Amino acid sequence: MVNVIIDNQPVSVAEGTTILEAARQTHIHIPTLCHLDLSRFRMVNQVASCRMCVVEVDGRRNLAPSCATPVTEGMNITTNSRRVLAARRKLLQLMLSNHPADCLVCAKSTDCELQKLAWEFGINFQAYQQGERYDFPVDKTSGALKRDPNKCIMCRRCETMCNQVQTVGALTAFGRGFDAVVAPAEMQPLVDSSCVYCGQCVSVCPTAALTGVGYIQETWNALFDKTKIVVVQVAPAVRVAIGEEFGLPPGQPVTGKLVAGLRRLGFNAVFDTTFGADLTVVEEAHEIIERVTKNENLPILTSCCPGWINFLKHHFPSLNYMPSSCKSPQQMIGAVSKSYYASKMGIEPKDLVMVSVMPCIAKKYEAALPEHRANDLADVDYVITTRELAKMLKESGIDLRHMPDEGFDDPLGESTGAGVIFGASGGVLEAALRTVYESVTGKELEDVNFTAVRGMAGVREASIQLNGRTVRVAAASGLGNARKILENIEKGTAQYDVIEIMACPGGCVNGGGQPYSQERMEVIEQRIKGLYLIDGWQTVRKSHKNSAIQRLYQDFLGEPGSEKAHELLHVSH
């Protein structure tokens, strides 16, 4: 332990602790901007580029960045001297002098950390005359991620997340001096880079330098077009997160209220992406059993996450034969809506508009892929995030807290507990195992909880006994952990039969389109608990027991893996 004094308070902390960490343990607030605590991933962003956290240390001439300065025995620290406060204010004013002042129309207005600091420091005028400013082009080439370098403050949080946590390597510091900015190599457009659109950079960006490409206006236009039938689907992870935008606790399920809110917005039908998750389980379970039985193309990798599939294409092309050919639940719902549902309701597919509400930015990219079109119609027309839907509800004066509980519309609204847990890391694997077990053994699975694959750990492994065969499974959370598994597969040092991978640490509950939060990891854990709470409430917790899914096969698809099922529900990666 090291003994120090912070603002005249004696403090004892572990050796190696930074001044910032020591202050927080003593409930002393030091403002930060570039600092990002990723201790769950055994790393912290300590570039100390913004200098907002500077403090005064006795015996040192220069102010010290508290986020990157370890404490030493007997250190005497002052966090709020006149010199410290003046330095922080000047640093903030200099940043604002080269920052766009479009706060009223900025995508991160009220969520911007730079804006909040300006308010906390009482800065209400430009202290420096306007000089030269950034004039970079705004990049929306991917249709999913928007990069505005003019709002970049070189905190490099996104770089840490992209390179060290996700190991994607799409972003780097580029240029020097006034021209320095974080961007893809050689300032190439995102669509030409190795970006996988996981959106984790968006989650940690303190300003609006990185945001999702918005489709709110396109959705409004569709809703007001009387010639169109507009249907909406809602992903499982949305229902345990959107309440945060209305003051509800993280993880509190608001399923019924969300359905009611969507109907008030004017959607003709409200479907549950969880139905698509159940459909995915049935198709994927059939594929798992087939591959394991033949002992071919193993391990089979889940294919629900477009960010993860992009990562595989960029970094492990030699393993491109391994993912399941199943479309994601989002795309399955879209395909079934414009075929099965349209036929039942007497709607021309060209007159039906499918809107998805997703926790994920990569889903925007996925929906636009040419392989997800049939008869020149996209399976899904527009994807909006949890944050975007919250804005639409607020614009319409709809407060979810005061909405009645309403149910989803048939026939694509019935779902099971297995489909709900798709939003958590390990949930896709657990849902599939519930169906695979009963399909292979012919026995009723009494305890459906495969708890070994749950949790926030980066990689979870388990073995399942199926008719005398040991099936080895694993779930990976975050692309950095996915890389470890895939590298071991390439080397031949790891043997698995089934692997679930989700691009975002913790799963879809931590998607790049979810509500922003400073207490990120704690919030993610609460959202995961919310999903398993819903699963426990359900009377049906196995996807193949979904009666609406059973009718879909009887009336339309035939059987799992049929020619019709492959035409609508499968894709070549």
Q: What is the pLDDT of residues 185-214, one digit of tens each?
A: 888 999 999 999 999 999 999 999 999 999
Residue 107: its pLDDT value, please?
92
* Residue span of the structural domain in which 77 resides: 2-95
> Looking at 508, 517, 542, 543, which residue is catalytic?
508
Closest CA to 329 of 258, 218, 428: 428
| Residue 343 pLDDT level (bands cut at 50, 70, 90) | very high
Residue 389: its pLDDT value, please?
98
| Residue 39 pLDDT level (bands cut at 50, 70, 90) | low
> Looking at 371, 487, 519, 567, which residue is catalytic?
371
Is 446 a catalytic site residue? no
**Both 84 and 224 in a single domain?**
no
> Looking at 146, 327, 363, 364, which residue is catalytic?
363
Percent of the chain at pLDDT > 90 equals: 85
In a domain, 346, yes or no: yes
- Mean pLDDT over 445-470 rounds to 90
Residue that is last in its domain, among 95, 115, 130: 95
Residue 426 per-residue DSSP state: T
pTM (predicted TM-score): 0.93
| CA 357 – CA 384 distance, rounded (Å) | 5
> Is the pLDDT assigned to residue 41 strictly greater than 60?
no
> Is the pLDDT assigned to residue 43 strictly greater than 60?
no
| CA 233 – CA 191 distance, rounded (Å) | 27
- Mean pLDDT over 176-189 rounds to 86
- In this structure, what are the phi and psi dihedrals at residue 193, rounded to the nearest 5 degrees? -95, -175
In a domain, 179, yes or no: no
In a domain, 161, yes or no: no
> Is the pLDDT assigned to residue 547 strictly greater than 90?
yes
Query: Which of 83-92, 502-511, 514-523 is the least confident region?
Result: 514-523
Range picked from 34-43, 115-124, 384-393 for highest mean pLDDT: 384-393
Closest CA to 470 of 478, 459, 462: 462
> Is the pLDDT assigned to residue 555 strictly greater than 90?
yes
- Mean pLDDT over 334-349 rounds to 96
Is 562 a catalytic site residue? no
In a domain, 428, yes or no: yes
| Residue 355 pLDDT level (bands cut at 50, 70, 90) | very high
Residue 193: its pLDDT value, please?
93
Is 430 a catalytic site residue? no
Is 325 a catalytic site residue? no
Cβ contact 475:459 at 8 Å: yes
In a domain, 120, yes or no: no
Residue that is last in its domain, among 56, 73, 95: 95
Percent of the chain at pLDDT > 70 equals: 98
Q: What is the CATH number of the domain that holds 347?
A: 3.40.50.1780
Mean pLDDT of the chain: 93
> Looking at 66, 324, 328, 415, which residue is catalytic?
324
Cβ contact 520:506 at 8 Å: no
Is 366 a catalytic site residue? yes
Is 519 a catalytic site residue? no
In a domain, 511, yes or no: yes
In a domain, 75, yes or no: yes
Is 284 a catalytic site residue? yes
In a domain, 143, yes or no: no
Is 394 a catalytic site residue? no
**Both 80 and 224 in a single domain?**
no
- Label the pairing between strands 9-13 and 2-6: antiparallel
Residue 48: its pLDDT value, please?
84
How many domains in the chain? 2
> Looking at 284, 388, 414, 430, which residue is catalytic?
284
Residue that is last in its domain, among 95, 116, 142: 95
Residue-wise pLDDT for 474-516, tens only, equals 999 999 999 999 999 999 898 999 999 999 999 999 999 999 9
Q: What is the CATH number of the domain that holds 12?
A: 3.10.20.740
